[in-house]
């Protein structure tokens, strides 16, 4: 089966408390699709965070001494740095414009994934509104999946993605930050290649590969395509979690 990725249409600007699963189900119908067994929904982190009310007005944040010191070093708003620190377990690297941290969710990213693009709150200074990542993206994906499965009667998967940089490459790419109902990693060790050689170390970050493909369709600016319907995922669906994709600290050469 070919891998088919279809951006869902007519998704409104998401507000806190919006029923995301219902909105997605309606969009599937408007898009002329039917949900089938094994389909996957890939969702941009922003619509999940917005629905969960993860918007923060920097005017409500009081920076501590550490945030003020770091802000001067990286040339950022101390209130923003205070939020970054509150969402992180450690600071790994810093330079003007960027703070590389280990997020509380376990992965490495810039500025704890806190973003201002395509974010607008109610009242105050529009420049002061930022969006945090979901508190528990795996749980968010599981809840959305349960509702969509109830609405459709089909077994599906849900993947939540965000745009991250990488230590050894230029540019951002879509990666998984939460998943439910699909594998994070597929283990091919022991399978034969074309010449009968048994693979010894090959594991596939299948969720991240799908995240990158969906991110290409979603875009990064004003495209307005925050959800993608996927059919033909080449691996069997199973229960999965973000933890599969995170390399332990003791095996991470970049930490």
In the predicted structure, residue 120 carries a pLDDT above the cut 80: no
The Cα-based distances of 126 to 57, 111, 157 in angstroms read 9, 19, 35
Please give the sequence-ordered ranges of beta strands (E in DSSP) within the chain, or none if there are none: 4-7, 40-44, 55-57, 88-95, 98-103, 108-110, 129-131, 157-166, 169-180, 186-187, 203-204, 227-231
Interior/surface letters 60-79, b for 16+ CB within 10 angstroms, e for the rest: ebebeeebeebbeebebbbb
Residue written as tokens 């029923």?
19
- Rounded percentage of the chain residues whose pLDDT exceeds 70: 98
Pull the structure tokens for residue 5.
């990725």
Does 55-131 carry CATH code 3.30.565.10?
no
> Tell me, what's the pLDDT at 222?
58
Residues 24-49, mean pLDDT to the nearest whole number: 95
The Cα-based distances of 98 to 29, 74, 129, 131 in angstroms read 41, 6, 18, 17
Residue-wise pLDDT for 49-81, tens only, equals 999 999 999 999 999 999 999 999 999 999 999
For the entire predicted model, the pTM comes to 0.93
User: How many CA atoms lie less than 13 Å away from 143 in the CB half-sphere?
Assistant: 12
String of DSSP letters for 189-200: TT-B-TTSPBPS
Contact (Cβ atoms closer than 8 angstroms) between residue 228 and residue 19: no
Which residues lie closer than 8 Å to 128 by C-beta, 6 or more apart?
57, 58, 59, 79, 121
Q: How far apart are CA 89 and CA 111, in angstroms?
A: 12
> Tell me, what's the pLDDT at 202?
83
Q: How far apart are CA 116 and CA 85, in angstroms?
A: 17
* CATH T-level fold of 4-53+135-246: 60s Ribosomal Protein L30; Chain: A; (3.30.1330)
Residue written as tokens 């998704």?
11
Task: Determine the length of the chain.
Answer: 255
The Cα-based distances of 253 to 120, 157, 248 in angstroms read 38, 32, 10
In the predicted structure, residue 141 carries a pLDDT above the cut 90: yes
Pull the structure tokens for residue 147.
């509702």
Residue-wise pLDDT for 242-253, tens only, equals 999 999 888 887
Where in the chain are the domains? 4-53+135-246, 55-131
Interior/surface letters 93-121, b for 16+ CB within 10 angstroms, e for the rest: eeeeeebbbbbebebbbbbbbbbeebbeb
Residue-wise pLDDT for 200-238, tens only, equals 888 899 999 999 999 999 986 656 789 999 999 999 999
Please tell me whether residue 44 adopts helix, strand or coil conformation.
strand
């Amino acid at each position: 089966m070919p891998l088919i990725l279809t951006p869902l249409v007519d998704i409104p600007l998401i507000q806190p408390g919006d029923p995301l699963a219902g909105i997605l189900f309606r969009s599937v119908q408007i898009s002329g699709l039917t949900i089938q067994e094994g389909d996957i929904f890939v969702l941009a982190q922003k619509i999940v965070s917005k629905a969960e009310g993860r918007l923060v007005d920097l005017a409500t944040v009081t920076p501590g001494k550490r945030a003020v010191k770091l802000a001067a070093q990286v040339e950022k708003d101390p209130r923003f740095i205070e939020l970054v620190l509150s969402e992180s377990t450690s600071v790994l690297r810093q330079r003007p414009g960027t703070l590389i941290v280990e997020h509380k969710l376990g992965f490495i990213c810039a500025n704890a994934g806190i973003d201002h693009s395509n974010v607008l709150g109610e009242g105050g200074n529009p420049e002061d509104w930022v969006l945090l990542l979901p508190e528990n993206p795996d749980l968010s994906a599981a809840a959305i999946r349960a509702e969509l499965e109830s609405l459709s009667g089909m077994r599906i998967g849900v993947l939540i993605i965000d745009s991250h940089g990488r230590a050894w490459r230029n540019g951002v790419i879509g990666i998984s930050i939460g998943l439910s109902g699909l594998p994070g990693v597929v283990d091919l060790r022991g399978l034969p290649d074309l010449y009968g050689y048994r693979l010894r170390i090959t594991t596939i970050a299948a969720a991240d590969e799908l995240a990158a493909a969906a991110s290409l369709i979603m875009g990064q600016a004003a495209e307005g395509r925050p959800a993608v319907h996927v059919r033909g995922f080449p691996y069997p669906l199973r229960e999965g979690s973000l933890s599969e994709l995170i390399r332990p600290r003791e095996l991470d050469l970049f930490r």
